[in-house]
Amino acid sequence: MTPDDAADHAGVLRVRDLPPGAADALLASHGLLLHVVDDGAPIPGSFWGEPEAGVIAHHVYVRGDTPVHSMLHEACHLIVLPDERRAQVHTDATDSVIEEDATCCLQIILADALPGVGRARLMTDMDAWGYTFRLGSTQAWFEQDAEDARTFLRERGLPYR
């Protein structure tokens, strides 16, 4: 991320903005371990590079400056996978369109479990960060075009509303 990018994304919620233990508890409820690395340190398993979250098997890696949406997104990549596939993940979780859509849908849903976040705020941050959906916004996609993602989640016993 360039200094200009950082300025553009200054209002996006970061992991350091969450109450202590909130993210750990949410991820643990889905069989994941959250690791917070030191500020300025490389983030293991980060596909996009710092400050984006990283994933390796059942582990999600973040720094204090990692956006909450990134932490949730990478965690949800692991959550939507069966355990045997999850164990094989290192950096790049999937190339499946439906798994990507389900990941985006689930990260929005799980945002409600984080104090001070919620789905409306997460969708605003996703738009600010540059997520793109064919209906023009994260909210429009989530409300009008994510039925295939919800079906995928429902079939796997995951939250879908």
Which tops the pLDDT comparison, 121 or 94? 121
- pLDDT in the model for residue 52: 97
What's the alpha-carbon Rg for the chain, to the nearest Å?
15
Would you call 9 helix, strand, or coil by DSSP? coil
Question: What's the rounded mean pLDDT across residues 92-105?
Answer: 93
Residue 150: pLDDT band (50, 70, 90) is: very high
What global pTM score does this model have? 0.93
Q: Which two tokens stand for residue 90?
A: 């290192």
Strand segments, DSSP code E, in 20-80 are: 33-36, 54-56, 59-62
User: 23-79: per-residue pLDDT in tens?
Assistant: 999 999 999 999 999 999 999 999 999 999 999 999 999 999 999 999 999 999 999
- Beta strands 54-56 and 33-36 are unpaired
Average confidence score pLDDT of the chain: 93
User: 1-27: per-residue pLDDT in tens?
Assistant: 443 444 456 699 999 999 999 999 999
Rounded distance, CA 44 to CA 27, Å?
17
For the chain, which residues make up each domain, given as ranges? 3-155
